[in-house]
Amino acid sequence: MTAAASHSPPSGFLARRLQGLRVWWTMLVICLEERLVYRGDFVLGTLMRFLPIVTQVFLWTAVFGATSSGSIAGYSRNDIVAYYLLTMVSRAFSSMPGLASGIARSIRDGSIKKYLVQPVDYVGYLLAARIAHKLVYYAVAILPFAGVFLFCREYFPPIPDWTTIGAFALSLVLSFLLGFFMEATLGMLGFWFLEVSSIVFAYMLVQYMLSGHMFPLDMLRGIPTGVAGVSVADVVRFLPFEYTAYFPAAVWLGKVQGAELVRSLLVEAAWVGVMIVACRIAWWRGTRRYSAFGG
Amino acid sequence: MTRYLSIFLTFARACLVRDMTFRANFVLECVTSLGWMAMNLAFYLLVFTFTPEIGLGTGWTKEPFFAFVATGLIINSIVQALFMPSAEELTEMVRTGGLDGILVQPLDAQFLLSMHRVDFSAFANGLVGVGLLCWAIPRLPQPPHPVAILLYPLLIACGVAILYSLVIMLAAATIHLGRNQSLYDFWFYLTNFSRYPAEIYSGPWGGPLRALCTFVIPILLVVNVPARVIAQPLTEQGGMMVAGTVFAAGAALVISRWVFQAALSKYRSASS
């Protein structure tokens, strides 16, 4: 057998699938190793994310202390604390720091061209890198998360039934995919604009507010839009952002149940599908108009 | 001192020229910065639809609280404009070895590393803060005492000094960690504690946290003291807090200088 023959592409569907899986696994391992190089920075960054929750807990405790009502927008003080903690879990899945800006940078400096000439799917590579990032993050964060949740257990309602837990887990997986494909699509706008930092920042602002990361979206129910019978909350429900923070938390707290829960999960899955298609179209059309810069 | 001021003004002029070269980008940065601020203001307005004040009997009703928010905007915009861009660059300089070039300059390394970049777009939030303060002051339950008006700029300067010290110490951590991409995040999360009145930190956990953020890391003095002086009646306790803030600002500058120098002495070049 010649050297050329030994390196020829594998024939057969199963062999090609296996090779694809092997490439994907190698990418995952490389990304894991890369993440672990700067361990100190990574651990510090992970632990810090709990700090804003502390101020939110004290802020809402003060707000509840100054109001005669024991409930705000259907949330007790304990519900609010539990909600913020649960959105931390949601965000641990759906947030994609540096993804959009990284893609735009690769387009701008020309480094993306190596993915155009290699038999590697760029979006698949990014997905593997992100899964690696998340795996390392969960490995580091699981202890602080467990500690904080144990410490704050009295704020939580009783553990829900298995169906709700399953729906919660599914909503988290979908929120990861939704967050990934939304940001990846945003990054691919770099094919048209080159510099997308301002667009990314604007997206982050909108996302932060309308995802429910800042406050439970139910609080917007009383805010009118100017159209009779339509609140700001009704408008926000038509957008995909709530699935990246509010929705999983609301599922665990039992704010979304029964047919509404099934419908919402289907809508979330549909948004994931829409964003996958949008990302693929952006990649396909972007690479066709792309001119490589840099050496 | 005059020499350093002249060099700083040269840096600032160069940054302004650079910003004005890319005017559209400058305007976009101002707009996005204002967007972030507007979002926070919207959140506070939302909170006040559910409660008349932040904490029962604290006096932080809507107008005093917005004076508090305005004070925070002014202080943070100064720090963001003057010090943060340079501190963020330091993290990359350590990793790539670019710090070597700074250390051989015949100037103070801390000055060069913390003040060579000015982000003029960050002043946009400060201007809105001044506007918000002008809106809130005539609507306060009690007009500010003339002494309070005199003390206010001094306390703003103290707040800036405390935050600058914190930035410098966080930047110094870069030298030990090799890379500190989380510098900006850590800054954001830490200053988060100063975004609300100190009274919200009460109870068995809030009390110790308030003491920690007042006496150990004096982050709660940064906005709380100037905002209290301008938005609430002057009291004897307030006078002590003013003295404490001035002392804390001085101490923070000295300690951060020492920490930064100690970190630099541990620096090993990463370049070839």
Name the residue facing B50 among A38, A65, A67 (closest C-beta). A67
Tokens of B12: 């600032």
* Residues of the domain holding A223: 19-289
Examine residue A10 and state whether it is found in any structural domain, yes or no: no
Contact B26, B121 (CB under 8 A): yes
Number of domains in chain B: 1
Instruction: Give the per-residue SS3 of A5-61.
Output: HHCCCCCCHHHHHHHHHHHHHHHHHHHHHHHHHCHHHHHHHHHHCCHHHHHHHHHHH
Is residue A130 situated within a structural domain? yes
Question: What gap in Å lies between CA B16 and CA B28, rounded to an integer?
Answer: 15
Q: Does residue A97 lie within any of the structural domains?
A: yes
* B45: containing domain: 2-265
The answer to whether residue A38 neighbours chain B at the CB level (below 8 Å) is yes
The reply to whether ipTM tops 0.95 is: no
Domain-located, residue A51: yes
Assigned domain for A11 exists:
no
Per-residue pLDDT of chain B (272 residues; tens, 9 = 90+): 788 899 999 999 998 998 888 788 788 888 888 888 899 899 999 999 999 999 888 889 999 999 999 999 999 999 999 988 888 788 777 777 778 887 888 888 888 888 888 989 889 999 999 999 999 999 999 889 899 999 999 999 999 999 999 988 888 887 776 655 566 677 777 888 888 999 999 888 889 999 999 999 899 999 999 999 999 888 888 888 999 999 999 999 999 999 989 988 887 776 54
CB contact under 8 A, B196 and A59: yes
Contact B43 A214 (CB under 8 A): yes
Which chain B residues are closer than 8 Å to A73 by Cβ?
50
Among candidates A40, A59, A220 on the partner chain, residue whose Cβ is nearest the Cβ of B200: A59
What are phi and psi for residue B88, nearest 5 degrees?
-65, -35
Confidence at residue B179, expressed as pLDDT on a 0 to 100 scale:
58
Q: What pLDDT does residue B173 have?
A: 80
Q: Is residue B271 part of a domain?
A: no
In a domain, A4, yes or no: no
Question: Within an 8 Å CB–CB cutoff, is residue A228 touching chain B?
Answer: no
Assigned domain for B270 exists? no
> For testing the chain B interface, which of A37, A42, A44 should be mutated: the one with the most B CBs within 10 Å?
A44
pLDDT tens per residue across span A135-171? 877 877 787 788 888 888 889 999 999 999 999 999 9
How many domains is chain A partitioned into structurally?
Answer: 1
